[in-house]
């Protein structure tokens, strides 16, 4: 589905491109990659972004189908775009019933603000209501994006303040901690809202303690992630080893690489 220039940038920047391509074709290849990296479970992130990336509505059902190969290890994340679903509440419920474990709003790629239920997309509130009731988390991309037609104004985490105030039961995952422009904003929100979680994907491990020096205080709401196979992302094992080697208490590392995710995505 990828638009030609996105495809080019995507695979040019991927550091283990042959493995990534094999995994896209076949979940068994991905399970082997996970075994070699020492990873039990992956959340596989997909969302509709026809204009910027090329992902159509088919992407949601595609990943639900892909993950059937190993539902205990492959957790599907979907991202219905409010523009293409007038009854977004019903679509959200349909995807939850089919096994979606996480939803993603990628603002810079969907051209949607997380708080757009206040103006452009009132139906977004229906999605947040269904997710609040079912306990399924929603991840918001925060920070920049390297793709040419992405708009980073949609990546400013300050709009999540509205979401936290208006949907206090919603589990919100702040992807990439607002890096590199808004890590202070992200930190404030994480401290303020007890249902907010920090995702470390896309943050170079050596930057984690620079941008989040007190991350150990919220280790029980912080999750390891890689963003693999996005451009510039090292192979998963390399990334995991670097996070395990951070100068943090052993209990905090354990929460970050395992404990938090087990609570947010309890085994079924």
Footprint of Zn ion (CB under 5 A) = 141, 175
Q: Which ranges of the chain does DSSP label H, i.e. alpha helix?
A: 4-13, 17-25, 27-37, 58-66, 88-97, 107-110, 124-134, 160-166, 183-192, 205-211, 236-244, 250-254, 260-264
Residue 228 CB, nearest distance to Zn ion (Å)?
Answer: 12
- Closer by beta carbon to Zn ion, 141 or else 221: 141
Under a CB-based contact definition with an 8 Å cutoff, are residues 107 and 144 in contact?
no
- Closer by beta carbon to Zn ion, 63 or else 248: 63
Residue 168 CB, nearest distance to Zn ion (Å)?
Answer: 24
Give the DSSP letter of residue 247: S
- Closer by beta carbon to Zn ion, 117 or else 154: 154
Under a CB-based contact definition with an 8 Å cutoff, are residues 64 and 70 in contact?
no
Residue nearest to Zn ion (CB): 141
Q: In the β-sheet with 102-105, what is the strand arrangement from edge to edge? A: 42-45, 74-78, 102-105, 138-141, 172-175, 196-199, 222-223
Residue 78 CB, nearest distance to Zn ion (Å)?
Answer: 14
- Closer by beta carbon to Zn ion, 111 or else 216: 111
Round to whole Å and give the CA distance between 211 and 37: 26
Residue 106 CB, nearest distance to Zn ion (Å)?
Answer: 6
Round to whole Å and give the CA distance between 31 and 51: 31
Q: What is the largest CA-CA distance in the chain?
A: 48
Residue 90 CB, nearest distance to Zn ion (Å)?
Answer: 26
Residue 38 CB, nearest distance to Zn ion (Å)?
Answer: 23
- Closer by beta carbon to Zn ion, 90 or else 146: 146
Dihedrals phi, psi of 75, to nearest 5 degrees: -105, 115
Taking alpha carbons only, the member of 259, 263, 242 closest to residue 251 is: 259
| Helices vs strands, H then E, count in the chain | 13, 7
Taking alpha carbons only, the member of 234, 10, 76 closest to residue 243 is: 234
Residue 252 CB, nearest distance to Zn ion (Å)?
Answer: 24
- Closer by beta carbon to Zn ion, 152 or else 242: 152
Helix, strand or coil, per DSSP, at residue 207: helix
- Closer by beta carbon to Zn ion, 81 or else 248: 81
């Amino acid at each position: 589905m990828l638009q030609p220039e996105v495809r080019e940038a995507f695979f040019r920047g991927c550091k283990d491109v042959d493995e990534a391509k094999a995994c896209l074709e076949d979940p068994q290849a991905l399970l082997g990659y996970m075994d070699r990296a020492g990873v039990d479970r992956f959340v596989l992130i997909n969302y509709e972004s026809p204009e910027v990336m090329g992902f159509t509505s088919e992407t949601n059902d595609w990943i639900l189908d892909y993950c059937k190969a190993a539902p205990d290890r492959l957790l599907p994340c979907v991202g219905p775009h409010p523009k293409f679903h007038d009854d977004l509440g019903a679509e959200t419920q349909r995807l939850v019933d089919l096994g979606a474990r996480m939803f993603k709003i990628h603002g810079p790629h969907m051209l949607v603000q997380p708080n757009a239920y206040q103006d452009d997309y009132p139906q977004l509130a229906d999605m947040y209501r269904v997710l609040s009731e079912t306990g399924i988390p929603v991840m918001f991309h925060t920070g920049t994006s390297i793709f040419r037609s992405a708009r980073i104004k949609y990546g400013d985490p300050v709009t999540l303040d509205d979401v936290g105030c208006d949907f206090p039961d919603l589990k919100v995952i702040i992807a990439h901690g607002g890096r590199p422009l808004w890590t202070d904003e992200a930190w404030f929100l994480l401290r303020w809202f007890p249902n907010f979680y920090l995702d470390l994907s896309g943050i170079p491990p050596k930057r984690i303690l620079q941008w989040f020096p007190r991350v150990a205080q919220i280790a029980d709401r912080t999750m390891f992630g890689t963003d693999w196979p996005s451009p510039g992302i090292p192979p998963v094992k390399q990334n995991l080893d670097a996070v395990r080697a951070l100068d943090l208490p052993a209990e905090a590392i354990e929460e970050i690489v395992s404990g938090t995710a087990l609570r947010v995505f309890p085994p079924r």
